[in-house]
Amino acid sequence: MASGPSRTAAEEYRPNRYVSLPAELDPATYDTPLEKRRAEAERLAIRARLKRQYLLQLNTPKPPRVIEDPALLRWDYARTHNVYPTFRPTPKTSFLGAVFAIGPILFWIAAFKTERVSSAGGVEHQGAPGCKT
Amino acid sequence: MLKIILPTIMLLPTALLSPAKSMWTNTTMYSLLIASISLHWLTPSYYPTKTLTLWTGMDQISTPLLVLSCWFLPLMIMASQGHLQHEPHKRKRMFISTLIIIQPFIILAFSATELMLFYISFEATLIPTLILITRWGNQPERLSAGIYLLFYTLISSLPLLVSILYLHTNTGTLHLPIIKLTHPNLPASWTSLLSSLALLMAFMVKAPLYGLHLWLPKAHVEAPIAGSMLLAALLLKLGGYGIMRVTLLMEPVSNFLHYPFLTLALWGALMTSSICLRQTDLKSLIAYSSVSHMGLVIAASMIQTQWSFSGAMILMISHGLTSSLLFCLANTNYERTHSRILILTRGLQPLLPLMSVWWLLANLTNMALPPTTNLMAELTIMVALFNWSSPTIILTGTATLLTASYTLYMLLSTQRGTLPSHITTTPNSNTREHLLMTLHIIPMLTLILKPELISGTPL
């Protein structure tokens, strides 16, 4: 029973819990899809632009007192302002949002109500609010 | 009453007519004089209302807030000198007069014994605030912040107007001491439920309650320093004050309203404190911290016991001073680094060592360290809530823990750590800033010695 050509040691190698797979041995390193490469190039271009913007401010003959780091501003904008336009409502996110927005409030309402009713002896006290006896 | 309101109104011609050289001095000194005269309001009295006139009067709830609002005008003027110094003179004049215009309205709102007058002055404070934010903010986002502020407040206060008019036709008067005497014979029906909801909602938005708070961080972030101080110290308190006034009218609050509002306020305190832990923006962090503190105030004023009212009063005053101090500190950093992002303004202790003393004091009061009035208030509120229902201690306890952690996070990230490399030169902190911080700290520290002045209970 002739099996196929035996696998090389590099192919046999599997990452274990002590050693991760080096990038050179990962086939995905060499045949990246075109979209991924394009995305990487785009990201590189953005980074280069940001760095250039920063260095232009830094290397002027009279640098400003405070040099703004455009990359940080961009990061902050992405974190604070750009969240909502890029949010995509799916059934899962909508459901989870509803659960986590309304769920705890209903839970605590129920908790307070049961506690107050049980401590007042089964009847909810209707007199002056705040006092239980 | 008039001896404060008239001088406050006459501050306007002072600002508009005084010569360019002495404009700052005149307005600051004059408003400080008014503030010191207003201190006599704190003298104890056995009457339920002091300085009673036909339309205005002050009781124990409004007195501390009135003194606080008189106290803050010179501080706001002093705080805005820094960012206005490159403006032409005419604009400085306009800025000061915008600040001054708000003041009589706030005083009227806190001292009105007539609900309609209260409503009108409550709404009138909105317009100068809007001008402050949309005209004097720093970034283009200020316009959307202004829209949020305007529409959140207006939409919620139209039902208030309707229900005030309904109350007027029902009882024949809107005079608060007389309304208190009339027997509340609202039957337990949907209409009475909705009318009390309408009465509460405007103040819940202003206070703000969690869920209705979205306008506040935006407005705080975009407003100039005087606008932030005004919002944090006075306008939020207007909401809390309104809740305390209105809940007294509609006793007992229906249970349908009790549970949702209390739960929203307490859960909101928890949520906003945890939002603070992930903020990148210093001013937004302080804004969310005030939402969380005001949540405690709302919860306390909803359960309407003596203890909870006095806790809410103490917390309102001490939070007003503390958060305004924090905003001033954030603004001193902003004027030096032109950025509110926490990562960009880290490690300032070696640069501004004296300023970090103020940071430490402000943060310690914000997280309610023992001798401060903040601690007295939080303890009183937590005890009152615990008496109302014992599971609340889980929420209030966790909120306290989170408050301590985000306050420490703010302190450590602004003061400690390595200095960012982009700061080449930093101006020193000057006397004006130190005076500003001192004028915030002095009332905080002295009120510890006599908290019954602000506790809202009859002396």
Closest-CA residue of chain B to A69: B422
Determine the residue among A65, A77, A99, A112 to mutate to test chain B binding: the one whose Cβ has the most chain B Cβ atoms within 10 Å: A112
Q: Is the peptide bond before B208 cis (omega within 30 degrees of 0)?
A: yes
- A6: exposed, middle or buried (C-beta count within 10 Å: 0-12, 13-18, 19+)? exposed
d(CA B199, CA B210): 18
What is the mean pLDDT of the segment spanning A72-76? 86
Contact indicator for B456, B64 with CB cutoff of 8 Å: yes
Mean pLDDT of chain B: 89
pLDDT at A25: 77
pLDDT tens digits, one per residue of B58-109: 888 899 999 999 999 999 999 999 888 888 999 999 999 999 999 999 999 9
Q: Is the peptide bond before A85 cis (omega within 30 degrees of 0)?
A: no
Which member of B255, B281, B305 has the closest CB to residue A131? Answer: B305
Three-state secondary structure call for residue A116: helix
Tell me whether A61 touches chain B (CB under 8 Å).
no
Contact indicator for B445, B373 with CB cutoff of 8 Å: no
pLDDT at B321: 94
CB contact under 8 A, B267 and A108: yes
| A16 compared with B361, residue with greater pLDDT | B361
Tell me whether A8 touches chain B (CB under 8 Å).
no
Question: Which of B119, B118, B104 lies closest to B38, judged by CA?
Answer: B104
Beta strands (DSSP E) in B31-94 are: none
Alpha carbon distances (Å) from B430 to B123, B230, B248, B332: 37, 23, 46, 10
Answer positive or negative: Cα dihedral of B261, B266, B269, B274.
Answer: negative
| pLDDT interval class at A128 (50, 70, 90) | very low
Does the pLDDT at position B258 exceed 50? yes
Neighbours of B178 (CB within 10 A): 12
**Quick one: tokens of B294?**
């005001």
Long-range contacts, B125-128 (Cβ 8 Å, 24+):
B125/B235, B125/B238, B126/B150, B126/B153, B126/B154, B128/B98, B128/B99, B128/B101, B128/B102
Q: What percent of chain B has pLDDT over 70?
A: 97
Highest mean pLDDT among A115-119, B125-129, B180-184: B125-129
Does the pLDDT at position B9 exceed 70? yes
What DSSP element (H or E) covers B180? helix B176-181
Does the pLDDT at position B148 exceed 60? yes
Report the largest interatomic distance among the alpha carbons of chain B, rounded to a whole angstrom. 69
Does the pLDDT at position A125 exceed 60? no
Neighbours of B412 (CB within 10 A): 13
pLDDT tens digits, one per residue of B174-202: 888 888 787 665 666 777 788 888 888 99
CB contact under 8 A, A130 and B280: no
pLDDT tens digits, one per residue of B309-334: 999 999 999 999 999 999 999 999 88
Stated pTM of the model: 0.89
